Chains A and B, each alone.
Chain A
Amino acid sequence: MEKTWNNKAWFMVLPVLVLVAFSAVIPLMTVVNYSVQDTFGNNQFFWAGTDWFIQVLQSDRFWDALTRNLIFSGIILAIEIPLGILIALNMPKTGLGVPFCLVFMSLPLLIPWNVVGTIWQVFGRVDIGLLGYTLDAIGIPYNYVNNVFDAWVTLIVMDIWHWTSLVVLLCYAGLVSIPDAYYQAAKIDGASRWAVFRYIQLPKMKRVLLIAFLLRFMDSFMIYTEPFVVTGGGPGNATTFLSIDLVKTAIGQFDLGPAAALSLIYFLIILLLSWIFYTVMTNSDAQS
C-alpha cells in the first residue's frame, strides 16, 4: 500500500508541545534570560554574561546553603531508608492487618506540605504546643526558634514522620511480590533470618529501593515549605536551604539576576546528583 505523506501528525503532537512549552520550556528560558542580564525595571535589560553565576558561586551564602542541603538529605536518607525497610519487613502480609496498615501508612502522605509544617510549628511551640510544652515541663530545654540543634531536630523528625511512609509502601510492594517458594527454599536450606533478608529480600527490593532513594533524595534536596513555615530559615541562617535562599534573593531582595543564576545552578545540581545516584545504583545492579 502506498504510504500517505502529510503533516497531520503535527496536529497530534501539538497539544503536548504547547503544554510543555508553556509549563517548562518558556519558564526555563525566562530564567535563563534573567540569569545573563541585569535589569532595573522598565523592561530595560543590560547584558551581564556570566557575572551572576560567578557572583553566586563565589558567595559563602550559596556554599553554606548547599552544605546544609547535603547534610539534611544525607541525614534524611540515612534514617528513612533503613527505617522504611524495617517497618515494611514487619508489616503483615495477609489478613485484616494489611488494609489497616496500608491506610495508616498512607495518612501522612495525604497531608499537604504546608499543613505538615503548620502542625509541627504549633506542636513544637514551647508556650502552647503539646510537644514543646511537655518537653519544657519535664525539664528538657527545647526551643526550635532560637536553638539551632532543636530547629534541625524538628525539621528532620517532621520529614521522617511525613515521608518514611513512602519508603515503607514502596518496600512493602517489593516484599509482597516475592513468591512464597523463596522463603520455603530458604527454610529448607536452614538459612537464618539475616540471610533471608540479605540474599532474598534485599536483592528483590533493589529496584523499588532505587526509586525510593531517588524520590526521597530529590524531594529532600528541594525542601522548602516545611522550614519556611516552621523556622523561616532560622535561627539566623541555620535552616536556610538553597530553596529558601533562592526565594529570599528573588522576592525578598528582588535580585532577579543572581536568583535566576542560583535557580539554574540548583537545577543542575539536582540533575547531576540524581544522574550519579541512578548510574551508580543501576551499574551495581548490572554487575551483580
Chain B
Amino acid sequence: MLELKNITKVVGADTHIHSTDLVLERGSLNVLLGPTLSGKTSLMRLMAGLDKPTTGTISFDGKDVTGVRVQDRSVAMVYQQFINYPAMTVYENIASPMRISGKDAATIDREVRKAAELMKLTPYLERTPLNLSGGQQQRTALARAIVKNASLVLLDEPLANLDYKLREELREELPKLFAAAGSIFVYATTEPQEALLLGGHTATMHQGRISQFGPTISVYRKPADIVTAKTFADPPLNTLDVVKSGNTFERGGLSVLPVPAHLAGIADGAYTIAFHPHHLSLARPHDTAATLKARIIISEIAGSESFIHVDCAGSRWVMLEHGIHDIEPDTAIELFIDTRHLMAFGPDGRAIGGSAASQTVRGA
C-alpha cells in the first residue's frame, strides 16, 4: 500500500504539486489522467523517490520511505521516450536490473526469456535497441520493468510515442500483465479514452492537484466537480451557464431546456450544465430528448464519425455523430440533447443533485 500524506512539491516560485493525499492499494491499476503540465510526471517522480517532497510523507506498507533513495526502493519506471541502454543487446537490457541486484545467471536467463516471451521479443534478443522499431524498443523497456518485479511500477505515458495500431495492441496487453503481478501500477496519460480502456482507478489531475480519485468508470460517470468532468472528456465537454427556474433552465429570461427528472430536486438558482458531445444528435434519439436551435460553425469528418461544431445559445459546442455529416457552415439546424445525461454544477464548480441516469458508456 502506497500512501501519500499531505504531499507538496515547490520548485523555486512554482508549486508543482499542491497538498495531495492519495492511497494506492497493492495489486491495483491506477491511472493519472490530466493534460500536459498538470503534474502527472511530478507526482510520479515523488512516488518513485526521484524527487523529495517539499512537505508531507510517503509511506509504503506503513513504513515511512520519504527520505529513502530511489535505488533503495522497489520501483520500476517506463517513460514516454524509449529508454534502454543503447550499447547493450535486448537480452542484456532486460537482464540489467537483475544484474545490478545480483541475481544468479540461471535465474536471470529464465526471467529474461519469460519476459521476452511475454513481450514478444524472443526473436530480437541479440539486437541492440537502435535496430528495433519504436514498439519493440518500448516493449524492451516494459520487459525491464517486469523482470525487476518492483512493488511500484510507474508508467509515464508509455504509449504516447507509438503509432495508433501498436498503441491499441500494447494497451490491450498491459492490464493483463498488471493483473498477474501483485505490484501497484500507476499509469499516466493525457487521454480519457486510455483511462477508460485501462479501467482500474483513476485520479484526474488539474494544475498540480488531484481533483478526484476513484474507480475509473465512476469518476467518468459521476465527476465530483466541473474540472474533473472537463479533464475526463475528449472531445471536450459542452457546457452552458443557466438559471433554474421551476422546471426549466433559463438563459437571459428565456427558457432553454426542460429540467430532466434526475435534476428536478435541486433548488432554483444559477448552474453550469454540462454533457458529453455524444449526447447531442441531429436525429431525435428518443421521446424525452429536448430540442435546441443551433448554427453550424464547422463540421470535421474523422473517418466514420463527424465532429460538428455548433453555436447554441451563445456557447460553442461539439457534437459527435456517427456517419459522415458534411454540413455547410452557418446553416441553421435543430439538434437534440439527451437530457437524461445532463450534469449540473453549482457556482463553486461542485456537482449538484441526483446522479445522471445510469448509462452505458457509449462510444466513450
Query: A: which residues have CB within 8 A of B?
Result: 179, 181-182, 184-185, 187-191, 195, 199-200, 202-204, 288
22 A-B pairs in the complex with CB atoms less than 8 angstroms apart: A179-B81, A179-B83, A181-B79, A181-B80, A181-B81, A184-B77, A184-B79, A185-B77, A185-B83, A188-B48, A188-B76, A189-B97, A189-B100, A189-B148, A190-B71, A190-B72, A199-B96, A200-B85, A200-B86, A202-B87, A203-B86, A288-B128
Taking a contact as CB atoms under 8 Å apart, the answer to whether A199 and B87 are in contact is: yes
SS class, residues of chain A in contact with chain B = helix
For B148, the chain A residues whose CB sits under 8 A away are 189
Over the window 168-191 of chain B, the binary record of Cβ atoms lying under 8 Å from chain A Cβ atoms (1 yes, 0 no) is 000000000000000000000000
Chain B, 63-91, CB within 8 A of any chain A CB: 70-72, 75-77, 79-81, 83, 85-88
A283 CB to nearest chain B CB (Å): 14
For B45, the chain A residues whose CB sits under 8 A away are 184
> Across chains A and B, which 7 residue pairs bring their CB atoms closest together, nearest first?
A190-B71, A203-B87, A203-B86, A181-B79, A199-B85, A185-B83, A181-B83
Taking a contact as CB atoms under 8 Å apart, the answer to whether B86 and A191 are in contact is: no
Neighbour of B50 across the interface among A179, A188, A190, A195, CB < 8 A: A188
For A191, the chain B residues whose CB sits under 8 A away are 96, 100
For B48, the chain A residues whose CB sits under 8 A away are 188
Q: Give the residue among A179, A181, A185, A203 with the most B Cβ atoms within 10 A.
A: A185
Q: Do A187 and B86 form a contact, CB below 8 Å, given A181-B79, A181-B81, A288-B128?
A: no
| Size of the chain B interface, CB-CB below 8 angstroms | 23
Taking a contact as CB atoms under 8 Å apart, the answer to whether B83 and A189 are in contact is: no
A139 to B170, CA, bound (A): 73
A182 CB to nearest chain B CB (Å): 6
Taking a contact as CB atoms under 8 Å apart, the answer to whether B71 and A189 are in contact is: yes
For A195, the chain B residues whose CB sits under 8 A away are 100
For B101, the chain A residues whose CB sits under 8 A away are 190
Closest to A181 in B: B79
For A184, the chain B residues whose CB sits under 8 A away are 45, 50, 77, 79
B129 CB to nearest chain A CB (Å): 10
Neighbour of A188 across the interface among B70, B87, B88, B128, CB < 8 A: B70
